[in-house]
Every structure is written in structure tokens, then in C-alpha cells.
Structure 1
């Protein structure tokens, strides 16, 4: 037991300390501690057992334990926490609080490496508001703890500095020490300085940050944002940052951040304005306007400069004659307090000077903006043209601009056509009457290594046109001869490769534009021989086009050199292929026929045959028409028919109908209806082989039926309608069925009309099927009525009438009645019909070749073909006219069939 610790409080009197004396329960712990006084476990059990004891008694136990174990963190921490709870809510001047501070100090003698105790002690001091004592305690903690633990101390230290009442000098010194440990936290220091309005120190630290390339902002700010913050500090507080080299700092930022320098220039000018140096501010503005490369920066600087000049003019207008101090509005607009501008006299001349300066600035804006665009890309040809237009009425400046443009623009980097600058430069001298200088410009332009041959050719052509405008025809021809000079060796492959690698001047002789201009010039000013030489040289160089071939041939024809022009055509058709040779062939054939007509018919035929052999089907129609016209006019009609027949088999399907129409018209004109019928039948027959489209075939059938109808061949017309019905969907092609309906109304009877309706229903059903495999459709659908079944079988089997006519006439066309041979039976019936009395009833039109089939026969055949089983037939009433019109033919029908029809009528 430590007697000194126990006996000290007993000197004050035994009456008040009786509760601190050990009782019988403490004897066990005291005896154990006498045997082992350095046992932490025993001391801790002793303290836990006396948890409910008075605070003074527990403090004595803690003091005794810590005297035996002074380096026990567990005991010190528990002891200090317990005493800190006891002083909570007490005044700072209380003796207990001071005693706790002493206790913390005694604990830190042995616990100086324990950061937790330091933190609790420092937080306790911060709450007391003792500035000096707290600062010394922080310093002691930083000295005692290792560097790895300093971060925990600095967090509390910085919060302490932010409290009100802390001297700024102390805070600045502490922050400087902190930045030595954590230089990346400089932004926190700058924010503190801004809050305390220490602008000089803040600007200095900000300048250090923007100059440090290795600095990385913890707040995620870019270097550009830091520069802008620095500009704000410098320009708004120029007096506080007088120790910095503001101009050098801002100019270094302008050099680094070229993407947005407008604000930096305006900040630098604003700095001089606030200093009262207005002329220096104007110089900064002008320098910014002539160096920025973006329109946004230019607009920012120009607008700021305009506002600055307007503010000066406004204040000069409102300033009194004897007023020496500047108005309050000038300060709001950025004008300095002691500016020298306001020392000028307020007279009329001074105001006029300021107004003239502002007006001159506004007039210079387009030119300054053009300079900005050219600084972005000095190789932009369009911008140079725009800049020249800005100096209209100032020839000297226009010449300087053109000179600067042609010397600045690089051919490989040019945006636009460089040769247009040279041409515009030369035309500028021409407009002012200086032809000699224009020729000098053109001559220099022809020596420029342009990127493309066409550019150089355009320069030569413009030069020549200028000479033509001034009536210098010989000089123009001489220029074209110079431009089209051809080297001796032009066919060697090595020479061609060398030309591609060399300048464009070596390939100029292959420019078709230049040669075409030369040809026009020779035709107008040269001789026949010189013009032919130019054209022949073009053909020799193999750079001719179909149009140039046509021009050459036309030129020869105008001078009556027909055979020479035909030789040119021959060269053209030998060089070019389709589709380029099409126009050459058409012109060749047309001019040949026009020249010789029928004199050289065999030669013309050979030419047409050669053209048709080379022509693809889609290009052959005009050739066929010209060939047929030749045969019609100078040859044989049969040969023309052969040409038309070949044409309808060769031209594309989409164009065959037009050719057929012309073919039919010529056949009717030369050979009559027999040939016309043959052509119609051939066209319709070849439809199945891909000859005509379905729409064209229907149109041909309708025209053929109309022809037969006019000729009185009713049965043939009806057969044509029956044949074409399979191509006409009643839902989409009502016109076809309307024609057939009108035909039956005028020329048919009840049976033929009903047959037409039956075919219409059958065709509509066939078009409504999902699939068109008729074998599968018949196998999967319900058996139809006998009449519909027989009609369908007739359509699928090729129609019995068509088969009979094929056997009689030998034609392969389905559904047609021959127009050639008339059967004896039909001739007899025609004679009998002619013998009828005029006043008697009109005889019915009877087709002698119609095969009469009884109803019973159809039913028996259908029943024999259908599988066994009951068939559900639809019942429908039969009109009375059927029974009355049957006549003798009805008696040949089976009795069962008649009975069934009557029964259906009664039931209906």
C-alpha cells in the first residue's frame, strides 16, 4: 500500500474522511495487493468491485494503481474518462477542471506515445477556449507523436484555427507548418485566406499552385479553373497583390491555356484599369484582339473593350467642367480612382476624339474577326476571298491581301481551290486596266505546283479567256499551244509513272478540259487542218470522250467531209463500250442513213447488225426502230417485219408492248389482218414463256378481242376473253370483266353469260387461294357442284374446245378458234341463216364447233372420278326459262335429271 497517497487526504480531519477508510470487504483485495502490488488484473478487479464507491475513493484507488503501474494505458484511459465525465458542465475556471488538466499532463509524461490520450486532452482544451495553452498542447503533441499519427492531430488543430477569436497571424503560421506536411491541401489554406480577406497571401499561394505542374487538385479543379480564380483575385484586389508580377503571371497563363484566353486577357486589362492605367489597358485589349484564335474569345474581348470605351465617353459627357474627381458610376464600370484619363480637359475636341476612337473600333470589327478566322486556319481560301471583299474601295489593301494569301496558303493544306485566288488576283488587275500585271500573275500561277491537273488547266483557260476578251487572238492560240505541249515519249510506262510522281505541269497535256478549250479555239480561229490536227492528237493521246467524238464528227460534216466523219465514228465505237457508245452509234447510224439513204443499203444493214450485236437488250430499242425505219423506207416490208419480230424478242419486257403496238400498226398497213392475227397470237403464246408481263398480255388480249369483235368473229373474241380471264383478278381488275360483261350483253345469250359468271367466280377463287398447287387444292377441298367441277376441269385440262380447234387448225394457242378454214357444217348453217325471210325471227348465233355435253354425262363422269361417299350438293332454284328454252335438246337429257331440276324449282 502507498501510504503517502492514502494519508495525504487524512491530514484535513478524520471526521469527513471516514467513508474513505477501507472496510472489511477491502481487506481481501488489500492483502492480495500487498503480496503482488504490480498485478494489473488485481487492481482492475478491485476497481470493478468498487464501481459504486464514492468518486473520491475511486480516484485514490486509481492514483495508487497508477503509482504502481504508471505505463498502463488501460488504467490511465479509464481514469481520465471517469474524471472527464465528472467535470462535464462545469465552468472553465473551476478548480476541478484545472485539476483534470494537471492529471492529463501527468498522464502524458508516461503516455506521450498514445495518440488517443492526446486527442482527448486536445479536444478538452479546445472546448475550454484557452488559445495559448491549447496551441502549446498541439505543438507538444506533434513533437511527441510519430509523423504517421500527425494527420489525426491536424484535423483537430485546423478546426481549432477556424474558431472565432483565433489570431490570423497564428492561423497563418500554423497553416504554413501544416502545408509542409501536406502540400496537397493548399486549396484549404487558400480558402481560409479568402474567408479572412488575406488576398495578397492567397494570390501568392495560388500563383505557386498554377506554376507547379505536379500539383493535383483534391477538389477536382483543373489548371484552367485555378488560373481563372487567380485572375479574379488579382484583378479585383490589385493593391493587395502589389508584390506579385501580375503581368508575367497572366501572360504565362495565356501561353498555357490557348483554348480559352479571352477571360485572361480581359482580366489583365481589368487589372490595369483598376490601377488607373487606361492606355495600358487599351494596349492589352488590342493585343488580345490580334492574338486570339477563337470567335468566342474575340467576342468576349471586343465586347469588353467596347463597354470600356463607351463607359469613358459616357462619363466624359456627364462630367462637369470643373470636376476633378471621377463619378461614382465610373468605379462601377471598372474605371480607376486616380485615372489619368479624367485629368484631360472636358472640351469638345476631347469628346470627339473618344467618339472617333469608338467608331473606328466598331468599323474594324469585321476585319479583326476575319483575322481571327485566318489565324485558326491560314490555308482557308474562302476566308481570304471574304477578306478581300472587306477592303472594297481600297485597292492597295486588296493587293496586299491577295499577295499575302497566295504566299501563305499551302497547296497540300488548302481548304478550297487555291487556283481561284490566283485567278481572282489576275482579274483584279484586269478590272483596273493593268493587263501586263495580270499576265504576270497568270504566268506565276502556271508555275505553282497545284494538287490537281484540272486546277492548272483552269488557270491556263482563264488566261486565254482574258486574252480573248481583249481581242488578242494570236496570243490566245499561242498560250494554248504552250499549255498543250506534248513530250515525245508518252507511251512508255516508266514515263507515265514518273509523271505521276512529278509536278502537275508534266501531266498537263493529258487534261481533257484544256484540249476541249483548244478545240473550240481552233474551230473559231484556226484552219481546217489545224483543227483536225488537234482532234487527231486527242485521239492519239486516248483522252477523248464520246461527246468529243460527236463534236469532231459534226465539225467534219459541217465542212462536207462525210467519209472522214464516218471514220471518226468508227474510231469512237471501237474505243468505247456501252453505255458510253450508245450516243455515238445513234448519231453514226442516223447520219449515215441521212447521207446515203438507200444507195448503200447493204452497208447500212451491216452497221445496224454490228450495233445490235454489241448493244445490250436494254439499249437495243432505238436501234431496232431506226433499223426498221430504214427497211420500211428503202428496203423490203418483209425485212422490216423481221426486224420488228426480232425486236419484240430482244428488248426488255417493260418495253415490248410499245414495240408490239408499232409492229401491229406496220403489219396492218403492209400485210392486212392475217398478219395482225398472227402477231397477236404469237404475242399471247409467248406470254407463258416470259414474253410479256401479265398486264401487257391482258391489254393485248382486250385489243385482240376488240378487233375480232369488229370483224364479227364473236366466238373468237369470246375465246380470247376466256384465255385472258386467268390473268385478271376480279377484285383488282374490274375493267377487264366490265368489257367482257358488255360483250356478252351485246353478243351473247343466257348460257354464255352464265359461263362468264362461272369463270369469274372460279378465277376469283383461284386468286384467293393461299397456294397455287392445283393438285393439292383439289385433294384437300370439298368437291364442288357438277357444273363448277366440269368448268374447272375444262380450264385445267386446257379446254376441250381449244383441244378440238388445235386438232383442226394446228394452232397451239389455248382457247382460240381458227380464223383460217371454215368447216362445212358452219358454211351450211350460214347459208341457212341467210335464207331466212326478212320479216321472220332473227336466227340465233350458233357455234357449229361447240361440243354439246348432256348434264347427265357430266354428272356420270364426275361421279366416276370422285371417290365413293355421300356428297352434299347445294340446292338452288332453276329459272323457268331453262325448261322452256330446252326444246328438243332437253328431251335427250335423262329423266332423273329433269325430275331433280323440277323438284329443286318447287322447293325454291
Structure 2
């Protein structure tokens, strides 16, 4: 039987093990859609807690014995807690409050005293002790507690406030005042003094409050306290005392430690009393004596005061003074801030300040010479000198001083590195206004000799032209052409001068000399001016020769078109024919031109000419030469030379080029056929007959004509006919 039981027990254990293994296998290992947290489990367990614990039963004490037993048990509990943690003040306070609730005042005091022995600097403990005495109407005991507390912790403001509040609530005003006096002996913070002052004001003791204010500002002489003291006197309608307070404050702080808020409050006080002159004096005193970093609020308040009560001059004076101080601050930070100098000087001049002040400011400004002789740094600086000279001439009417300013300016400029033509010219014009032409010529001559510039030559020549000194103009033009012979404008102006004077031979010689110069900057303008000169003189033959000379140097399409239009403009019988001949010659000359656009432009202009002056045959002849516009593809390359793919572009195919291409292909095929015939091994060693060669050439010729349109796969640069170039003016979509 026992064996049977053992067998059954082992079988049961095996089955349980198998079931456990099956249960441990998890088929779906993915995370559940709703995750369960530990907080959720605890909350659900708490919600399903069906066992509601009943509250402890209330104990009713019915006889003194039970009360004593209860008190003994609770006291033992409190004493045990205190023994466990003697420094826990909350246990002491609970113990004392419990004794108070039992009516055991002596025991409660004893607990507080024992607690004070543990920590006599705990503010909460003293407060609870005193409040316990107050609740039980033990006023003298409370006073003793407060006295002990303020003796041990005199800087704890809570004790003093509670003590004074208790005495005031008891109606003991002298006692309250006495407590305040004891407090003030410690020179506490501003809150304590304010509380004392408010206490006296509650009982209308203004004189006492005034005395407290005086003691207060001696202990805490902050500017805001002086201002509050003055406002206190204003509220008491004591204007004289308020003014005395402000005066004492100004005297107390002096010039070294003066605060702008006191002066602003003082000025506003005088403003409220309608003493605007006093307020103005205070503002000026502040502006003259306070440091610059404290003047912002003073200037703002002064400006508002003057806008309210001042005159126009006073308002402007305030604003100007404010701006002057601002500019002075900017220039102290950076004396090379020329824009600030310009604004500052413009302000002084607009306000018509003293001339000596303006001159002194100009001298200060021009003394800040740029540290590097680089022209870009001097461009703003040089206008300080110019404005200085203009001021002396126009505003101060001191011509000698203006002349000296110009001379000093020219001495400062480093002429070996660069110069300023405007300074030389302004100096020369100044001398002309003084009717001293000789001095002006001397100045400009000195300028050209020391630092020649094209602008100086032009202005000097213009001056001599206005003075009708043509010989001097010729001399100056000669000097100018020696200085910069590549400037075509100078040649043209010189020739125009000679034309104006009627000396055409001299003008023509100047033009001939100019076009023979190889390094001209813009020769096309010079040639055009020369041709226009000859046309203006009616010398059409010379103009025609000039066109041919120009075309021998360049084959630009614009020159050909201009030549044709010139021939058309000549009013005689053969002008149209000559113009057509020019177009034909231009077309032949431009056949080998690389720029096909120029050739197209010529043909379009020629076509317009034939539409207006030709007949149908001549127009058809031009139309037959118009090219086709085709789209092509070519390889595109990056800047570094690597191939980046294909790009499309437009090209023009002219009929003459097309025929030439076909003939070239025919000749190439003929050579290829001949080479093939030479390589073919013929057994009878007989040469091909002439008739066979002709037939082969014909066959290849037809193949050449058909090969013009190539397949895209064979030639990516295929031509796609998109119409005649007569439609090339359409937009390229």
C-alpha cells in the first residue's frame, strides 16, 4: 500500500512539472497594447480592499481615576518620544500644547522651559511659548517671555513685531513706544523704522514721527529714504521742512556722491510748488556737476519740464545740450567716428553757437588724422576740412582763415600716395570768388605738377574755356594727352574744341594722330567721332575712306551696318546701290566669321533695307540667303574639365554652307571609293573602267545627299530643323 502511494505521489509530481513547463511557454512575446504599472496594481489592490477598518472607539473618562490614568499614559508617551529624540522641537511643542489642553499651565511652562534648555535660539519655540501665555491671558508671563526672547535674539524681527502688537492691542501705548525705543537702539532695518513711524502716525504724533524720521535717515541715509522723508513733510503740508530736507540731502551727499534721483525729486517738488526758476536752477546744477553716466534721467526730466513750462529758447537749449552731451560721449569712446563729428558740428552750426566754440570743435575733429595712409579711410575725414573751410567762408565771413584752412588741408594730405582733386578745385574756385584768377591758376598748376589727375585737367580746361583762354586750353590738352594718351575722350574733346574754333585741319590732324595710337581704351568711340566729324563737314569721300580704314582693322557687323546706312544717307542718285554693295561686301566678308549671330543680324538688316528700298528680286535674293535655326546637342564640361553630360544649343545653317558641306561629303566618298577599289584584289588585274567609276560616283553622290539627315543614335550632334531664321525672332520656349 505504501509502495502504491509512493508511485501515485511521484506520478502526480511529474504531471505538475509537465503542466508548469507548459504554462511557462509563451506563444506571443510581443508587448501588450496596454501596459500595467506598479502604481496601477497598487491602486487596484487598494480599491478592492473590502475590509474597512473601523475608527478607534472614543474613550469617555467618567471619574478622576481614569483621567489620572489617561494623563499618566500620555505623559509617558511624550516623555518616551522626547527621550528618543531630544532635539525634535515639534515633540516638545506638542507636549506643551497637550499640557495646556489639560489645563496644566505650570506643567506646560515647565515643558517649554525644558525645551528652551535644549535649544534656546529656536524662534518657533519662543513664539509658541509667548502665544501660549497670551491665550491664557497671562500678560505678565508673556511680557517676561518676550523680554527674554529679545534679549537673547535681538535681531529676530518677529519677536519685536509680536511684542509691540501685543502691547498696542492691550492699549499700552507708552509701553509699546518703550518697546520700539528698545528696538531702535539696535539700529534695525528699514522695516522696523517704518513700523515705528506708522505706529506714531496712527496716534497723530507728527512731531514724534518727524524725530523718528531724522533718526532714521541718520542710520539709513539712502537717497530713497531722504526722498520719503521729504514726501512725509509734504503730506503734512510743511513745505518749508520738505525743502529743508532736500537741501540737507544735497549737502549731505555733496558733489562726489550726489544721486540724480534726489535732484530730480527736488526739482519736481519745486515744480509742484510753481517754483519753476528754482527747478530750472536745480536741473542746471545737476547737469553741470553730475558725471555723464548719470545724466540720462536728468536730461529727460529737464526736457519734460521745459516742454511744460519753458519758452521755445529754453526747450531748444535743453535739447541741444542733451544732444551735445550724447555726441561728446560717443567721441570719447571713438574719436575717429567721423559721422559723429559731422552730426555734432551740424548741430552747433544749426543752433548758431559761438564761432569760437565751432572753430574749436572743427580743430578737434580735424586733429584726428586717419592712422593709415589709405584713401578709403580718408574719404570721410577730408570732408571735415571742406566743411571747415566752407563754414569760415560762408558763415564766419573770414576769407583769410578759410584760405589757411585749405592750405592746412593740402599739407595734411599725403600727395605721394594719393590726393583729393576736389580739395584742389574747391581751393581754386574759392580764389576765383575772391577775383584772384592768378592764384587759382597757380593752385591748379601746382596740383597738376604734384599729383596729376584727369579730373584736375578737365576742370582746369573748363575754367580756361569759361575765361576764353583758348591758347591755355590747347596747352592743357597737350599736357593731358601726354599724361594719359590712351583716353579717347580727351582726344575727342580736344578735336571738338578745334572744331568749335573753326580750325578743321587741326581737328583732323588730332583725329589722325589719335586713331594711329594703338593702346586706346575705347577706339570705336574715337572712330565714330572722327566719322561724324567728316560727315558734319560734308566730306563724304573722307568719311568713306575712314569706314574702309576701319573695316581693314575690324570686321564687326555694326561697322558694316553703319557704313551701309551712311551710304544710304548721302542724298544722291546712287546711294541705294552703294548701300546694297556694302551689304553684299559685308555678307561675303562675314561668311568666314565665327559668330553666326552677327551674320544673321547683317542679313536681317539687309532684308529690312530691301523691303524699304529694293524690289521683289533683290528681296528674294536676300531671303534665299537667310539661314535655318536648328537645335543641336553637345557635350557639356564643368569648370575643372570633367564631362557632365549633354546640353542643347541653337545654331544657324546657311544655304551656302549646306551646299559646301554636301560637296565636301561627295569628294570624301569619292576618295573612299577609290581607296576601296585599290584594295580589292582582282584576278585579271584590270583597272575599273571609267563608266563604272562614274556610276559609283553617282551612287555615292545620291547617298551623300540622303546622309544629310543622320540618325540620332549615330550622331548625337544631329540638326533638327525648326524653321527658317526669318522666324528666329520668336520667343524660345
Q: Deviations over 1:263-302 (max 9, x none)?
A: 64997999xx9xxxxxxxxxx989957964529999xxxx
Q: Which residue of 1 aligns with 2:268?
A: 232
574 and 99 in structure 1: CA distance in 2 versus 1, 3 angstrom threshold:
same
2:134 pairs, out of 71, 80, 84, with 84
Q: Which residue of 2 aligns with 1:123?
A: 165
Query: Which aligned pairs between 1:457-536 and structure 2 lie closer than 5 A?
Result: 457-461=425-429, 463-464=431-432, 467=435, 476=437, 478-479=438-439, 481-485=441-445, 511-521=456-466, 524-527=468-471, 530-536=472-478
Q: Which residue of 2 aligns with 1:281?
A: none
Aligned length: 523
> How many angstroms does 1:536 deviate by?
0.5
Structure 2: which 5+ runs fail to align? Answer: 1-62, 325-339, 367-380, 414-419, 634-648, 653-704, 710-718, 725-733
8 A Cα contact 1:161 1:171, kept in partner: no
SS at match of 2:445: coil
Q: Which residue of 2 aligns with 1:61?
A: 107
Q: Which residue of 2 aligns with 1:590?
A: 532
598 and 264 in structure 1: CA distance in 2 versus 1, 3 angstrom threshold:
closer
TM-score (norm 1): 0.43
> How many angstroms does 1:587 deviate by?
1.1
8 A Cα contact 1:667 1:676, kept in partner: yes
8 A Cα contact 1:546 1:583, kept in partner: yes
1:137 pairs, out of 150, 169, 179, with 179
1:114, 1:424 → 2: CA distance?
76
Q: Which residue of 2 aligns with 1:195?
A: 235
Q: Which residue of 2 aligns with 1:872?
A: none
Q: Which residue of 1 aligns with 2:620?
A: 677
Q: Which residue of 2 aligns with 1:555?
A: 497
1:174, 1:637 → 2: CA distance?
113
1:253 aligns with 2:286: yes
8 A Cα contact 2:168 2:176, kept in partner: yes
Q: Which residue of 2 aligns with 1:541?
A: 483
1:79, 1:813 → 2: CA distance?
112
Q: Which residue of 1 aligns with 2:680?
A: none
8 A Cα contact 1:445 1:459, kept in partner: no
1:567 aligns with 2:510: yes
Q: Which residue of 2 aligns with 1:294?
A: 320
8 A Cα contact 2:92 2:111, kept in partner: yes
TM-score (norm 2): 0.52
> How many angstroms does 1:444 deviate by?
5.9
1:643 aligns with 2:586: yes
1:585, 1:405 → 2: CA distance?
55
Q: Deviations over 1:292-331 (max 9, x none)?
A: 4529999xxxxxxxxxxxxxxxxxxxxxxxxxxxxxxxxx
1:379 aligns with 2:324: no
Structure 1: which 5+ runs fail to align? Answer: 1-18, 88-95, 216-222, 240-244, 274-283, 299-373, 389-399, 429-436, 468-474, 491-498, 500-505, 698-802, 818-908
Q: Which residue of 2 aligns with 1:754?
A: none
SS at match of 2:202: coil
140 and 605 in structure 1: CA distance in 2 versus 1, 3 angstrom threshold:
same
Q: Deviations over 1:151-195 (max 9, x none)?
A: 785575455355343443345436634762574762554554443
8 A Cα contact 2:133 2:139, kept in partner: no
What value does the CA root-mean-square deviation take over the aligned residues? 6.5
1:486, 1:424 → 2: CA distance?
26
Q: Which residue of 2 aligns with 1:741?
A: none
2:125, 2:619 → 1: CA distance?
130
1:20, 1:79 → 2: CA distance?
28
1:422, 1:48 → 2: CA distance?
95
Q: Which residue of 2 aligns with 1:361?
A: none
> How many angstroms does 1:111 deviate by?
7.5
Q: Deviations over 1:24-47 (max 9, x none)?
A: 659969999xx99x9998998985
SS at match of 1:165: coil
414 and 663 in structure 1: CA distance in 2 versus 1, 3 angstrom threshold:
same
1:60, 1:287 → 2: CA distance?
83
1:515, 1:85 → 2: CA distance?
109
SS at match of 1:379: helix
2:199 pairs, out of 160, 164, 176, with 160
30 and 378 in structure 1: CA distance in 2 versus 1, 3 angstrom threshold:
closer
543 and 188 in structure 1: CA distance in 2 versus 1, 3 angstrom threshold:
farther
8 A Cα contact 1:381 1:418, kept in partner: no
455 and 70 in structure 1: CA distance in 2 versus 1, 3 angstrom threshold:
closer
8 A Cα contact 2:270 2:279, kept in partner: yes
SS at match of 1:511: helix
> How many angstroms does 1:199 deviate by?
0.7
8 A Cα contact 1:379 1:409, kept in partner: yes
> How many angstroms does 1:582 deviate by?
4.1
> How many angstroms does 1:253 deviate by?
0.4
